[in-house]
Amino acid sequence: MIVDLVQVKEGKEECMNPRKLHHYLKRYHNDMYTSMQEVFTLIGLNTVNKVVNSWIVGLGGANSCLVDPKVVFHHLLKEPGVVGFAVAHNHPSGNLAASSEDIALTTRLNECGQLLNYTMLDHLIVTPTYDFFSFKEADLIGA
């Protein structure tokens, strides 16, 4: 599956916790769960963690995906009402473990967000079996 790097669907669901975020992804970004390539999704949130908009900001190969923080924050900065964000990407292999690259990117996005006064809610890794791993629940997102 090849996906255009464009804005995807808007929803007004709350994404206050990892399970609600996972539910949102299954509803509006279901293709990423079964994609044979890594897909990186950005979700812009308002002050009560309702989705304002979401975008696919990275496509990769079977086991990696390059994501440029400048692209992530370009989308967030130009979208009125966005004060926070969450991100998600898939592991086509089905492995839920966060790689060192996943952790480094999450740390970088969180740090950039703090500089711009955006709160990073979570980063989920999803698999073809609809399992997920939450960086927030694993305490891998710093305050």
Q: What is the pTM of this model?
A: 0.90
Nearest to 118 by CA among 141, 93, 92: 141
Helix H segments across the chain?
18-28, 31-34, 69-78, 100-115
Q: Report pLDDT digits (tens) over 56-96.
A: 999 999 999 999 999 999 999 999 999 999 999 999 999 99
- CATH dotted code for 18-134: 3.40.140.10
